[in-house]
Amino acid sequence: MPTITTKDGVDIFFKDWGTGQPIVFSHGWPLSSDDWDTQMLFFVRQGYRVIAHDRRGHGRSAQVGTGHDMDHYASDLAAVTEHLDLRDAIHIGHSTGGGEVIRYIANHGESRVAKAAILAAIPPLMLRTEANPGGLPIEVFDDLRAQLAANRSEFYRALPTGPFYGFNRDGAEVREALVANWWRQGMMGSALAHYEGIKVFSESDFTEDLKKITVPVLVMHGDDDQIVPIADAALLSAPLLKNGTLKVYEGFPHGMPTTHADVINADLLEFIRS
């Protein structure tokens, strides 16, 4: 399998298909680069080079016990881009991966970056604090940790069956293949990395990161996102960006890159070509 080894000795798995301008995908918690299959196949056929990695502790990357924090996630992404010598790259991140993209650009600079897009992403901050009163209370994330620790397999069946893809909404039909693929990806990774990842995606504050970024950033979010509510995410992130564009999707769920791939892919392509 194609891997790189980071400075702290972690093997990171990545995919690298095609030629042309590179598009780099960062996946959400607790999944893997496989969650971008539809987008990667679409864009490689459009003449782009597509790259995606499995975050440390996720998918086929090393199940290490350290470095489960946003700075390490961003550094691992930087290691992939430097190893492949990617330039003029478009970075696309979903959910936790959106935070990873923002932290990567803020911490490692824009010299290799042309544009970015964040989809249903966690910035600026999910957790309710005095400075972020609209966030979710800590009890929400404590409950996620408790469910994961009690029975990860059951938890990873319930989440995509319900709010992740919006299958709990009236009239929605559960697409069992999507649920099974979500479960498969989740169970590939490390329980420890996923447990600690809950703290990462809920407590990482990207406010200052967003303010640093000058490249064009497309902020895409569904207004029926039950995992990362739009009011405390995209609606706050977009105004903090110097060159941000907000696009809201009526009725779309958190997992919209999968459930509405045709719409999302077309809008990403338009943004990339603009």
- The predicted model gives 153-177 an average pLDDT of 97
SS3 (DSSP) at 69 = coil
Q: Which two tokens stand for residue 89?
A: 């790259």
pLDDT in tens, 55-67: 999 999 999 999 9
What percent of the chain lies above the pLDDT cut of 70? 100
Q: What is the pLDDT of residue 10?
A: 98
Sheet holding 3-5, edge to edge: 3-5, 11-17, 49-53, 22-26, 89-94, 113-119, 217-222, 244-249
Q: What is the pLDDT of residue 179?
A: 98
95 catalytic, yes or no?
yes
Within 8 A by CB and 6+ apart from 47, the residues are 18, 19, 20
Question: Average model confidence (pLDDT) for the chain?
Answer: 98
- The predicted model gives 84-97 an average pLDDT of 98
202 catalytic, yes or no?
no
209 catalytic, yes or no?
no
Q: What is the pLDDT of residue 77?
A: 98
Residue of 33, 75, 95, 202 marked catalytic: 95
Q: What is the pLDDT of residue 83?
A: 97
pLDDT in tens, 222-240: 999 999 999 999 999 999 9
pTM, rounded to two decimals = 0.97
pLDDT in tens, 28-44: 999 999 999 999 999 99
pLDDT in tens, 168-200: 999 999 999 999 999 999 999 999 999 999 999
SS3 (DSSP) at 194 = helix
Of 271, 269, 138, 264, nearest to 199 by C-alpha is 138
Tokens 């490390």 correspond to 190
**Contact by Cβ (8 Å): 51, 22:** yes
pLDDT in tens, 251-273: 999 999 999 999 999 999 999 99
Per-domain boundaries in the chain: 3-273
What percent of the chain lies above the pLDDT cut of 90? 100
pLDDT in tens, 104-132: 999 999 999 999 999 999 999 999 999 99
Q: What is the pLDDT of residue 1?
A: 78
- The predicted model gives 147-152 an average pLDDT of 98
Question: Would you state the CATH architecture of domain 3-273?
Answer: 3-Layer(aba) Sandwich (3.40)
